[in-house]
Structure 1
Amino acid sequence: MAWRNALTKSMQELRIHLCQTSPASAGVRDFVMANYAEIKKVDPRFPVSLRECAGAEAKLTARYDFGVEKTVSVQGASSAAVLTQLQELIQLGEKMPKSGE
C-alpha cells in the first residue's frame, strides 16, 4: 500500500503505545500484527517503537523534522481506524517543512 512508502518519507519516527491484554488496545495490536513486517520491509532503518505497558492508553506518536511531535489516541479503535489515524499523521507530515529542503 502507498501509505507505507509515504510513512517513511513524512516522519522521522513512529511510536506506538499499547496494552498487551486490554480490549481497548486490540485494534492497535491487530494493526501491528498485520503491518509491522511490511513497514520494516519498505525501510528497515525507519524507527518504529512499540511501547507495551499494562493498562497503557493506546496511542500513536509521530515525530517529524525539527522535533515536532503529534500524538493521537487510538484507544478502543479498530485496526481500520488505527490506519485512518496513521494516514492523517502521514498527511500532516507531508505538509510540514523538511530539514533537507
Structure 2
Amino acid sequence: MSGRYAFAKGLKELRFLFCQTGEHSSATRSFLTRAYPIMKKNNPTIPIMLREAQGTLPRVYARYGPSTSCFRDEPWDLLANN
C-alpha cells in the first residue's frame, strides 16, 4: 500500500465538516475532491465522513478509540503529519 494518506493503525473514524458553498471552505472542498478517493482506496475499512452544513467552518475530527479524539481546523495539517 502506498504511504500517501495511509492512516495510523489506531484511527477508527475521520470526519470532515465544511460548508458546501462558502468561500471559507473552498480549500477543504478542493482538498477532499482530490484526496478522498486516494484516502478511501488506501484505508477501505476506516469510515471517512463528509458533513456539509451551510455556514459551517471547516474542521476535521479523528477518532482513535472510545474516548480519544483529535480536532484540527485545517484537515491537511492532520494528514500531513502522519
Per the alignment, residue 44 of structure 2 pairs with 44
- Is residue 18–residue 58 contact of structure 2 (8 Å, CA) maintained in 1? yes
- Is residue 3–residue 87 contact of structure 1 (8 Å, CA) maintained in 2? no
TM-score norm. by structure 2 comes to 0.84
Q: Hey, which of these two has a bigger chunk of helix by percent?
A: 1
Per the alignment, residue 21 of structure 1 pairs with 21
Alpha-carbon offset, residue 8 of structure 1: 5.0
Q: Which runs of 5+ in 2 are unaligned?
A: none
Per the alignment, residue 64 of structure 1 pairs with 64
Number of aligned positions between the proteins = 81
Partner Cα distance (1:40, 1:8) in 2 = 14
Aligned alpha-carbon RMSD (Å): 1.8
Per the alignment, residue 53 of structure 2 pairs with 53
Q: What is the SS of the residue equivalent to 1:11?
A: coil
Q: Which has the higher contact order (CA 8 A, sep 6+)?
A: 2
Identical pairs, percent: 28
Alpha-carbon offset, residue 3 of structure 1: 4.1
Q: Which runs of 5+ in 1 are unaligned?
A: 75-81, 91-101
Partner Cα distance (1:36, 1:46) in 2 = 12
Per the alignment, residue 78 of structure 2 pairs with 85
Larger radius of gyration: 1
Per the alignment, residue 2 of structure 1 pairs with 3
